[in-house]
A and B are shown apart, each in its own frame.
Chain A
Amino acid sequence: QKEVEQNSGPLSVPEGAIASLNCTYSDRGSQSFFWYRQYSGKSPELIMFIYSNGDKEDGRFTAQLNKASQYVSLLIRDSQPSDSATYLCAVSSERGAQKLVFGQGTRLTINP
């Protein structure tokens, strides 16, 4: 079992709809959770982070964390074609530890 799992997609969503991206992790001691966006041929760009159970909203993005279920998700409201990218879920495995463990990413396509 991989430490961080994501559906590789591709996930296709019509413009203006809500895109829902999911991630599960295996280490119950994980404390910090990050979503990165990576355009083709570019480097990962941090878009959201969440540390506590519940929801965190930033503009059109909402990160949701459920530690009991070891599940973290990213919702993108009013999806735009410019949101088309690979979304990487990353987990910091221990409190105070620094390395990030990434999932393989979900490729998202927003159709105009």
Chain B
Amino acid sequence: GAGVSQSPRYKVAKRGQDVALRCDPISGHVSLFWYQQALGQGPEFLTYFQNEAQLDKSGLPSDRFFAERPEGSVSTLKIQRTQQEDSAVYLCASSPSSRGYEQYFGPGTRLTVT
């Protein structure tokens, strides 16, 4: 079956621009996660949704980062006024479990801020 999909796969933004990254989870998966992965590092948690409710946003690095999942399916991660330190791969993962066990990752969006 179809896995987690993300778009765009690559995004180049000029410093100060706003960007929106999209995640389509596996159909029927309750839980959705966003992670940020810097080069040579493991993914770092950003935020978590159970259906449409954002239950944990403790990993969002600043108030420039905003995520939503209004209908409990597709999610969007928005970054306002991008900075160079925002350059990273943004990974979306979904899980069939409300506890988030067994998370399945999408291909990621590589964001480069110039």
Contacts and interface: CB of A to CB of B under 8 A. Distances in A.
Contacts of A102: 42-44
B100 A99 contact: yes
Contacts, number: 60
A32 B97 CA distance: 14
Interface of B: 31, 33, 35, 40-45, 48, 50, 55-56, 58-59, 91, 95, 99-108
A89 B44 CA distance: 12
Contacts of B101: 32, 49, 92
A103 B42 contact: yes
A99 to B, nearest CB: 4
Contacts of B31: 98
Interface size range on A against B: 20 to 34
A100 B104 contact: no
Interface string A74-112: 000000000000001010100011111111110000000
B100 A92 contact: yes
Contact of B108 (A34, A43, A101, A104): A43
A27 interface: no
A98 B91 contact: no
A98 B48 contact: yes
A109 to B, nearest CB: 16
B107 A43 contact: yes
B93 to A, nearest CB: 8
Nearest to A93: B45
Contacts of A34: 102-103
A101 B105 contact: no
A43 B91 CA distance: 8
Contacts of B91: 43-44
A7 to B, nearest CB: 13
Interface string A1-19: 0001000100000000000
